[in-house]
Amino acid sequence: MLKLLLFMLFLMPLCLNKKLYWLVQYLLFFSFFLFMLDSMKSFHWMKLSYYFGVDFLSYGLILLSIWITGLMMMASEKVYLLNKQEKLFMFMLMILLLLLLLTFSTMNIFMFYLFFEGSLIPTLFLVLGWGYQPERLQAGIYLLFYTLLASLPLLLSIFYLYMNFNSLDYFFYNISDMFNVYIYLSLILAFLVKMPMFLVHLWLPKAHVEAPIAGSMILAGVLLKLGGYGLIRMFMIIQYLSVQLNFLLMSISLVGGSLVCFLCLCQTDMKSLIAYSSVVHMGIVIGGILTMTYWGYAGAYGLMIAHGLCSSGMFCLANIVYERSGSRSLLINRGLLTLMPSLTLWWFLMSSMNMAAPPSLNLLSEISLLNSIVMWSWVSMLSLFFISFLGAAYTLYLYAYSQHGKFMIYYGMSVSVVREYLLLFLHWLPLNLLIFKVDYFFLM
């Protein structure tokens, strides 16, 4: 595991030369393929070195992090062309990637907490430094305080675990029934905020709308997955309590998902709509993890990977339109089919993936999650019906409203360039190819 981390560490000096912008991106993809080919040979902890190692859960999320970071550099060409502190920008991306890899690969729960919180800092700099509107300061403060407020109890709980088990390694914790409600809540609250669960989700739309395209991609693509990863790790420790108390959080997640679907239908800002749809998807993922069944874990893992690629691609599309029209409003960006017909195909493909159409990984994962949640309680079918139906409704609303109708603006709308098509293709291809390796997601 250390060889990958050292590879990323030695990439950082290259960020200090503007001319090496694309070389850094190529080397990221190179490291992705090296790590992928050195694949998992079993489902236990592997590639052990000091406190680092990879099990199956972290393996897929590490691959996703490297892939999304490479695509972020491809999407942020404007930073490079307009000389917007591109060296600092590259450096921030590499620090963020390194922290994510450390988070997913550490086997020590305290180091996990440290890197989990550390990934917040480069994200905050991305939002504040390269964001669009003056409101980005408020969005950054929301992001910071929501996450930090919920993570202090987590730190105290980690100390409590150390007192009881005399170890901070995941695999030395035996499943114990000596915990109480406070430990249960404090261990998982930070991850529920990060996901985010309904009621603690207000930071996400703000951060997404104000962040640059790279910030939106890493937020939707990887940072929300930190929450799911943390929940799965924590529920392995507190299984007894979880079986008794999970129904409260489950009801909030599913009812909240239905309500956010209605919110999506009211949005006129493209980025805001896609951000709220992330809350809906993550609500189902939380539901799947809370069932604590094999189907739920496998479906949550699959949907985290699928949503990372799909949501990131949707943000790229919104950004391509924003760079040309100067607005993200659906009231202004209408009739894009007339102005950018070749891009409409990508809008259709990404929208169909977002509503879990075959042959995407989203479909398989959502079927698995629906199975697990209905198996847990048949009453949840009502919320799932709303989420599934309205999920298709708001995606169609976004697609139809932006592509059809009489266009409002036509000046300055240039056609797309090959880089943008490649960017979208590299989101779409793994999303559909992963369906051929279903055994990877269902042999956890």
Ordered by start, the domain boundaries in the chain are: 1-443
Query: Distance (Å, rounded) from C-alpha 275 to C-alpha 279?
Result: 7
Looking at the DSSP bridge assignments, the partners of residue 52 are 49, 106
The model carries a pTM of: 0.95
Decide if 316 contacts 346 (C-beta within 8 A).
no
Query: Distance (Å, rounded) from C-alpha 121 to C-alpha 116?
Result: 10
Query: Distance (Å, rounded) from C-alpha 7 to C-alpha 10?
Result: 5
State the angle between helix axes of 56-75 and 224-235 in degrees (0 to 180), rounded to the nearest 10: 170
Query: Distance (Å, rounded) from C-alpha 224 to C-alpha 207?
Result: 12
Query: Distance (Å, rounded) from C-alpha 153 to C-alpha 148?
Result: 10
Residues listed for the chain: 444
Query: Distance (Å, rounded) from C-alpha 21 to C-alpha 23?
Result: 6
CA angle 245, 227, 89 (to 5 degrees): 165
Kindly list the distances between the CA atom of residue 103 and the CA atoms of 72, 280, 340, in Å, as whole numbers in the listed order: 20, 25, 40
pLDDT (tens digit, 0 to 9) for every residue of the chain, 444 residues total? Answer: 888 899 999 999 998 888 898 999 999 999 999 998 887 766 777 888 878 888 888 999 999 999 999 999 999 988 888 888 889 999 999 999 999 999 999 999 999 999 999 999 999 999 999 988 888 899 999 999 998 899 999 999 999 889 888 888 887 777 766 678 898 999 999 999 999 999 999 999 999 988 999 999 999 999 999 999 999 999 888 888 888 889 999 999 999 999 999 999 999 999 999 999 999 999 999 999 999 999 999 999 999 999 999 999 999 999 999 988 888 899 888 888 888 888 999 999 999 999 998 889 999 999 999 999 999 999 999 999 999 999 999 999 999 999 998 877 665 567 778 999 999 999 999 999 988 888 877 765
Closest residue by Cα to residue 380 from 226, 207, 223, 247: 247
The DSSP result for 301-370, as a single string, is: HHHHHHHHHHHHHHHHHHHHHHHHHS--BTTTS--HHHH-HHHHHHHHHHHHHHTT-TTSHHHHHHHHHH
